[in-house]
Structure 1
């Protein structure tokens, strides 16, 4: 009985190694650059980090298949190198069948942000080869760019109109301040002319009176004769 169990374990291990290989149709390669990402604070990649990676992959698969409960042992890793690169395949929790590569890619892309944050890495330093980086909703502007440009242009035009109106009002006020002084000067001149007019009248009246008096004297002289 013990021999049969050992034989089954060996066959299972051999099958897993065969299913996970660089030549596997459904295999996926991962390259991790800790030094490039963290510099002097880079941590060592060990068995615990690999366990965490397999756990995050199991989470990504669970997140993609809500009706299937993937476990860590469903993430099979092989061909690991010291430069932190390896291959992995995902097996189904309902049997030994390998999950298709395209399905794994979709699951990884959906949870890429969570996987990256678990290792303090990015899409570039935690590289799933041939898997599209984090799926994000296409960015859409809340306001169309042409509306923004139109608003800027209209704002500049409005500022120009306000400036012109304001400058014209200021000029009009300045002119109004200058005009009362000119009017005051005109009033003074008119007053001076008015003051001179009675004198002139008196002179003219005096002259006319003198002429009149001379005539009267002549009349009186002739009358006496």
Structure 2
């Protein structure tokens, strides 16, 4: 009895692998453009890289369905080509039944960046045909946006106060200077008037002197 159970467990992955076919309802196609992405530093796709892909997918499935302990034996691949494309399906570690395509898609999208990083590729060079690339999560700034806006508004207000204060000081200085200039001009005019008056007092009027001389005769 125990031997039959052990034999069944050993044959289960092989039997499940027969269901991995291109365009199967629960299958996905993967295409890797390693040379395009890495150029001269491109690595060769071999069994080790294939194992890494299966391990990465198993991690993604564990991350999405945490109640099941997926392993590389649950990631079935088939129809592999030299241009590094193949199909894969995922089986349940509980009963070797196929995981629904929708659940596989959710798992891939959730761990897409981790899968890309494992192969030094991006969404454009590691393509899961039929699964849209995930958008990067928006960066969470260290400073809250409202605090940034408050700082900008406060800075504008302070700058306006400084400008108004500086302009008022400049206007006051101009008024003082203008008042000093007007006082100096008034003083100069008064001095000229006094000088002109003193000059007129010192002039001798010969007209009256001559008249007085003729009258005495």
TM-score w.r.t. the length of structure 2 is 0.71
Query: For residue 77 of structure 2, what is the aligned residue in structure 1?
Result: 77
Inter-partner Cα distance in structure 1 for 2:73 and 2:12: 16
Deviation of 1:131 (Å): 1.2
Inter-partner Cα distance in structure 2 for 1:11 and 1:102: 23
Inter-partner Cα distance in structure 2 for 1:198 and 1:175: 35
What runs of 5+ residues in structure 1 fail to find an aligned partner? 204-209, 215-225
Q: 1:49 to 1:180 in 2, by over 3 A?
A: same
Inter-partner Cα distance in structure 2 for 1:7 and 1:112: 34
**Mapped contact 1:27–1:89 kept (Cα < 8 A):** yes
Three-state SS of the structure 2 residue aligned to 1:88 is strand
Deviation of 1:177 (Å): 2.3
**Mapped contact 1:111–1:134 kept (Cα < 8 A):** no
Inter-partner Cα distance in structure 2 for 1:198 and 1:126: 107
Q: 1:61 to 1:12 in 2, by over 3 A?
A: closer
Q: 1:31 to 1:52 in 2, by over 3 A?
A: same
Inter-partner Cα distance in structure 2 for 1:16 and 1:131: 23
**CA deviation vs aligned residue, 1:148-193 (integer Å, no higher than 9, x gap):** 7xx79x95x9978976885675455345424423422321331343
Equivalent residue runs for 1:50-129 within 5 Å: 50-129=50-129
Query: For residue 177 of structure 1, what is the aligned residue in structure 2?
Result: 177
How many corresponding residue pairs?
A: 199
Q: 1:193 to 1:49 in 2, by over 3 A?
A: same
TM-score w.r.t. the length of structure 1 is 0.69
Equivalent residue runs for 1:1-225 within 5 Å: 13=14, 15-134=15-134, 136-137=136-137, 143=145, 155=156, 170=170, 173-174=173-174, 176-194=176-194, 197=197
Q: CA RMSD in A?
A: 4.1
What runs of 5+ residues in structure 2 fail to find an aligned partner? 204-208, 213-217
